[in-house]
Amino acid sequence: MTQAGEATSKNRLTLWWESLSSLSKFLMVALAAPLVLLNVWAVSTIFSYFRSILVTLLVAALLAFLLNYPMSWLERAGLKRGQAAILVSLVALFAFLTLGVTVLPLVITQAQQLVARLPEWFDSGKNQLLMLDSRIDQLGLPFNLDVVISQANDRLKIQIQNLAGEALNLTLGVAVFTAGKLFDVLLTIILTFYLLQHGDEVWESLVGWLPTRLQIPFSKTLSRSFRNYFLGQLIVATCMGLSLTAIFLILKVPFGLLFGLTIGLIALVPFGGTVGIALVTFLVALRDISIAVQVVIAAVIVQQLVENGVAPRVLGSVTGLNPFWVFIAILTGARVGGLLGVVVAVPTAVVIKEVLLSVRSVRSVRQANQDSPDSDASTVSTILAPDRAQVASEFSQESLVAEK
């Protein structure tokens, strides 16, 4: 369909909509809303039915996406693609096995000890608050914390113990392999290795369903969004986890290894570092307020240095989203896909934002073309469909700069 035909059909649709009465418009929207909700429910049901397969595919795709960067570096060093894929896969597998054999058992042991000692820590926290209440009474201040302390202590003790127990059970469930889990892990490894070798072919076959003028811009936007987000969060989480673990061990913080790695793991999600610091500070304060003060000071300093010093210098802006929309994206991802949905929620929101901005810019150009019929049509077509070779050149240059 030509541009003139598209404009005519849109004008007819606009005139038809404007010719409807307010009641008719309201009824049409009211009828369309249940259909939209029904489609969303259907998609969610389909995702739940194929959840195991989709999770395996998505995890393999994310691993292949991240491992593609060192593999590209090895290819530039002179190795063939197959050899580079084998080397990178073996190194990654060895790293995961090493962490699973050395660090994971220590973390699980400390987590079990923490769950066992939580009642004792809550009693210690209650005693510290009672001492604070007696100091307030001595100063003659009109505050009485006895009732609040008792109720808060009982409720928090139950909730924190339940939360810690669920987290420990989840960790043990991940660590203990069954036949089904072992099959999923092997399938993920095989798919990751295959995507490292043939990922470009798979991606081109998927993007090929899009209009020709959208294929390269869409690939560029998606790659940039996921690269900036995952590498940025990985840098932040790794720096925070390792730094805080070392500092906690030096300060002799109880369960320093567990707390440091927990903050680093939660920092993989936006706002997760702040939540992890608050949670760890609260737990340590139950044991000893003086140590908790040292923990929060060290954690806040490390967080500010990493988030404002390290990550921006490496990658610049990670998402470009307003924090409010980041929060909404995380909640939506958690509701739709659980933990995996949280992981991919933010980069997906970035892609949606870029698509909406592109659609709005295209509409603006078409509106300007309709308002000025004497304008040169070639200018509009140049804006709407940029030269593929030029975009590909810019994309390759940007990828080389990022990898360097």
Identify the pLDDT of residue 260: 92
Percent of the chain with pLDDT over 70: 69
Pair 239, 286: CB distance under 8 Å: no
CA–CA dist 272, 343 (Å, integer): 11
pLDDT in tens, 207-216: 777 777 777 7
What's the token pair of residue 54?
């989709």
**Which is more confidently placed, 349 or 300?**
300
Confidence of residue 297 (pLDDT cuts 50, 70, 90): very high
Confidence of residue 91 (pLDDT cuts 50, 70, 90): very high
pLDDT in tens, 309-319: 766 665 455 55
What's the token pair of residue 73?
């570096």
Confidence of residue 298 (pLDDT cuts 50, 70, 90): very high
Greatest mean pLDDT among 30-39, 233-242, 384-393: 233-242
pLDDT in tens, 322-350: 777 778 888 887 777 677 777 778 878 87
pLDDT in tens, 145-171: 555 556 566 666 666 666 666 666 656
- pTM score: 0.68
